[in-house]
Homo-oligomer: A and B are copies of this chain.
Amino acid sequence: MSKPVDNAVSTVRTYIQNHRTAFLDDLAEWLRIPSVSAQPDHAADVARSADWLAAKLRETGFPTTEVWPTAGAPAVFAEWPSEDPEAPTVLVYGHHDVQPAAREDGWDTEPFEPVIRGNRLYARGAADDKGQVFFHTLGVRAHLAATGRTAPAVHLKLLIEGEEESGSPHFRDLVEAKAQRLAADAVIVSDTGMWSEDTPTVCTGMRGLAECEIELYGPDQDIHSGSFGGAVPNPATVAARLVAALHDEHARVAVPGFYEGITALTDQERELFAELPFDEERWLRTAKSTATHGEAGHTTLERIWARPTAEVNGIGGGYQGPGSKTIIPSSAMVKLSFRLVAGQDPEHIEKAVRAWAAEQVPAGIRYEITFGAATRPCLTPLDHPALQSVVRAMGRAFEQPIRFTREGGSGPAADLQEVLGAPVLFLGISVPSDGWHAPNEKVELDLLMKGVETTAHLWGDLAESWREAH
């Protein structure tokens, strides 16, 4: 290792250490804003979150910060041009909205009252995604401090959307409308995770997502299960039979046409997955589960990273209160989501699911099926030079070899790739135990600071490798 590298690492670390307290205070202030995009009564909070972030980015030094309205929740755009007009342009993507959360869901503390316990910061959004957006603010300042620059080595843009947890329904429109302002040579997505605290990794792909809700209507009102039971169709039974019919006996998705177009995993990809230090017992602990279950013929990592799924996220119908109520309920509903992999197209999946549902619902039951916004799957080529820059920057921060993973979750990265024609790279420091979408979501403070450190090194490395290539 050459001296200049060591010096840079140490300068960056000192700078970060000196600004850590203020950084965490600011993040906590942001986390207190309950920017839940899925719940209409939080619309004002999502708007407040955007304004807060725009102001903070201005304070950080971005000369341009704008709140971009959409037909839904607003996004935040910021831009900080390099002094070198030949420098590459990098667009950072993240989101400032969060999943719903309520104390009674099982949180030990208020989800929107951030609290540090041990070396962890607990709050809804701590890891998904406010913490991982926020490390870019201190990161770019550390980059400037360590290099003596007054502007980043790359033309730096940020696009932080406000509807990711609602399936980014207006993101594609926004990106298309603002394509010129967003134009970039590479996209850095900071909305993913690493393998574990001990094994830093770079993610190379995300699954896509299609979601639908099916409402089923039987009798015009709840009717007596003694007087009528056994002679009319029960919408809760039909809801259950729909969910049961989603999978065959091998836990494969049984919707006809669902697997059409998928590129099968190569032997090399399966080997790469198999080489990771996967400990099923440990993984099950992070999954809060006691047994694995999934598509026959695939390992757990293949199932969560490279195979599509059908999952019921919610089901409801009839009497759910205390005691019993002997009724045939008048309605029932299911909320389904489908994770998609490279080769699958949300429009095709919607068509397939609609056709399948039409086959399943019997006479006497009326149904309505509604699809939300979909997210395409995406994959980054392993040999892309910008990916190598990310690996080097992480290596300096973590002082460990960086390995490769994929992400089972979904993000609108594929829209950016498609509309902007730029490769998508992933830089995330969250770990599976962070509890995304769950009670007691947290971020590991050590990893959060490694995220800051990585971005402090990344912009210089990217600018240099770009110069070499052009």
Contacts and interface: CB of A to CB of B under 8 A. Distances in A.
Kindly name the residue among A233, A284, A289, A316 whose own CB sees the greatest number of chain B CB atoms within 10 A: A289
Nearest to A373: B324
A9 interface: no
Kindly name the residue among A230, A319, A408 whose own CB sees the greatest number of chain B CB atoms within 10 A: A230
- The dominant DSSP class at the A interface is loop
Contact of A318 (B244, B313, B339): B313
Interface string A226-268: 1111111110110111111111000000000000000000000
Interface in A305-346: 307-309, 311-330, 332-335, 337, 339
A294 B231 contact: yes
B167 A303 contact: no
Interface string A373-402: 000000000000000000000000000000
Contact of A38 (B40, B244, B323, B330): B323
Contact of A293 (B166, B231, B314): B231
B312 A324 contact: no
A292 B364 CA distance: 7
B323 A227 contact: no
Nearest to A319: B314
Contacts of A100: 319, 321, 323, 325
A398 to B, nearest CB: 21
Interface stretch (A78-86, A207-215, A454-462): A207-215
Contacts of A328: 311, 313
A312 B230 contact: no
A39 B303 CA distance: 44
A327 B312 CA distance: 8
Contact of A289 (B166, B232, B321, B432): B232
Nearest to A230: B309
Given A293-B232, A293-B233, A326 B437 contact: yes
Interface residues of A, number: 100
Contact of A240 (B244, B291, B333, B407): B244
Given A246-B237, A318-B313, A439-B221, A230 B295 contact: yes
A230 B317 contact: no
A63 interface: no
Contacts of A61: none
A447 to B, nearest CB: 16
A218 interface: yes
Contact of A223 (B221, B288, B307, B407): B288
A222 B218 CA distance: 30
A49 interface: no
A290 interface: yes
A234 B246 CA distance: 12
Contacts of A220: 288-289
A102 to B, nearest CB: 10
A290 B329 CA distance: 14
Contact of A39 (B287, B322, B335): B322
Interface of A: 38-40, 99-100, 105-106, 166-167, 193, 207, 209, 211, 213, 218-234, 236-237, 239-247, 284, 287-295, 300, 303-304, 307-309, 311-330, 332-335, 337, 339, 362-364, 366, 372, 407-410, 432, 435-440
15 contacts: A100-B323, A219-B287, A221-B438, A222-B439, A223-B435, A224-B438, A230-B311, A232-B291, A237-B244, A237-B312, A243-B244, A311-B328, A312-B318, A314-B317, A320-B333
* 8 closest residue pairs by CB, A with B: A226-B409, A291-B364, A38-B323, A240-B243, A244-B244, A230-B309, A314-B318, A220-B288
